[in-house]
Amino acid sequence: MRVAVIGKGKMGTLLAQTAQAKGMQVVGLFDITDKEKLLNQTVDMVIDFSHRDNLDWVIDYVQETHAAMVYGTTGLNDEDKEKLKAVSKQNAVFYSANYSIGIAVLTKVIKEITPLLETDFDMEIIEKHHNQKKDAPSGTALQLLEAIDPQNAYTHQFGRVGMVGARQKEIGIHAVRGGTLAGEHSVLYLGQDEVLEFTHQATSRQIFVNGAIKAAMYVSDKKAGWYTMEDMMKG
């Protein structure tokens, strides 16, 4: 399988190294300055964990070449996601805000237990990342929020400040930035005299890379469509 990796930073380099170790042929690492160079390449798969500013030209390339796509860049707005979903009508597109297998399991657990707890428990999300992360809250925190509240029945309170008054029907989402922390996400259910907390800690970027390479292998022989970690976990 011939693979193009978008992004020349730490994540792109690690993706390329791991893909090669798994037997994939990496034709190069590309950013927007290499757009013309990439057009001269024929690949089976594009893996993009770079920046949302690359989205439009990468989409153009994928549509032109009919390559499959594994996309993991966060900070997308609703319009960006609709663009990706449009591509999936003619290409195989695998999308996730987080490629950790542990987060995939956590998301599944949260979906199942929230209906059992929400009547008697307040719910909060706390995410922590390194001081270079640009978007807040993280895409994973938003993924967990969607798992908790798929119908948008709650007010989503992004941080609190000042005299906020008594708690309403709301879910708080809080972002912490500092140091070199790879990523930590906690979902808290806070009840009367008891607390249930689920926490996932990432100690390196490698877990996300491993998940992305697994996703690339999974989607490589799939027909056009929209694929997620939930699909991959089902096998």
| Cα distance between residue 54 and residue 155, in whole Å | 32
**Which listed residue (133, 169, 222, 223) is catalytic?**
133
Told to judge if 129 belongs to the known catalytic residues of this protein, a careful annotator would answer yes
Told to judge if 35 belongs to the known catalytic residues of this protein, a careful annotator would answer no
Burial of residue 139 (number of CB atoms within 10 Å: 0-12, 13-18, 19+): middle
Phi and psi at residue 119, to the nearest 5°: -65, -35
Asked if 83 contacts 58 with a C-beta cutoff of 8 angstroms, the reply is: no
**Which listed residue (128, 129, 185, 200) is catalytic?**
129
Coil/strand/helix, residue 35: helix
| Cα distance between residue 111 and residue 150, in whole Å | 9
Residues serving a catalytic function are 129, 133
